[in-house]
Amino acid sequence: MARHLSDRDVDLVVGLIDSWEGKLSWDALSDAVEPLIGIRPARQTLALQERVRSAFEHYKERQKSGYVKVKPPASLRIAEQRIRRLEAENSRLEHENARLLERFIRWQYNAHKFNVSAEKLDAPLPYADRDSSEAKS
C-alpha cells in the first residue's frame, strides 16, 4: 500500500510547485518530488491533497493567462529591496491567513452548536438582478 503524504511532504511539494519553471505535469511533479520525500507518489496521491491540487491548478491558470516570469533585477540592492518587500508581504499574508483560520474554526463551532448543516452553509447565494431597478418580491 502506498504511503500517505505527511504535512511536511505536502509543504515540500507545494514549495516545489511555487518555484517550478516550465511545463508542469503530474508525472513531472512526481519525478521531481521523489528525491525530496524519498518516494515517487502517484498522481492520485498528489491530487488528493487539497493544497497540492490547488497549487497545481493555480500554476496552470497562471501559465494559461500568459504569465511571464519577471527578469532578474539589474543590481543586488534592487533585488534585496524586492526580497524584503516580498518577505514582508508574505509575513502579512501568513498572519492574515492565521486570523481567517481562527475565524473559520469559530464559525465551524458555532454552526455545529446551533445545528446549522453543511448543506445550508454551502447553499448558493441568491440571484441578484443588478440590471433592474425594480424591487422583486
Mean pLDDT by runs of 10 across the 137 residues of the chain is: 81 91 93 94 93 92 79 84 89 92 95 93 88 64
What type of residue is 43?
A: R
pTM for the complete prediction?
Answer: 0.58
- Look at residue 134 and tell me if it is in a domain: no
Check whether residue 59 and residue 6 sit in a common domain: yes
- Look at residue 26 and tell me if it is in a domain: yes
pLDDT of residue 100: 94
Q: How many domains does the chain have?
A: 2
Check whether residue 56 and residue 78 sit in a common domain: no
- Look at residue 76 and tell me if it is in a domain: yes
pLDDT of residue 1: 46
Check whether residue 30 and residue 53 sit in a common domain: yes
Check whether residue 75 and residue 65 sit in a common domain: no
pLDDT of residue 37: 93
Inter-axis angle of helices 50-64 and 7-18, nearest 10: 10
pLDDT of residue 19: 87
pLDDT of residue 65: 85
Per-residue CA distances from 49 to 3, 12, 62 (Å): 13, 12, 20
pLDDT of residue 2: 57
- 124 HSE (CA, 13 A, CB side): 3
Cell numbers of 128, please?
441578484
- Look at residue 128 and tell me if it is in a domain: no
Structural domain that includes position 113? 70-121
